[in-house]
Amino acid sequence: MYLYVNIFRIYNLLFLTNMCHIYNYILPKLISLAKNLLTVSSRHIKSLFSLSYVILILQYIL
């Protein structure tokens, strides 16, 4: 019984650190992607339309 509890604790710890790593890795990528989308689309498309489009995408992600 004690062995199973320890294994469960180790698994939880690994899962939590993995989640933190995923958030630290993915969030900056998403932010940079959004910035790139903003700059690219405001160059090519009308800025108001692109801004609303990016906000819509961000709302869909969050």
Task: Show pLDDT as tens, one digit a residue, over the chain (62 residues).
Answer: 566 777 677 777 777 666 666 667 777 787 787 787 777 655 665 666 666 777 777 777 76
Cα(59)–Cα(48) distance, integer angstroms = 17
Cα separations in angstroms, 25 against 1, 2, 18, 47: 36, 35, 10, 29
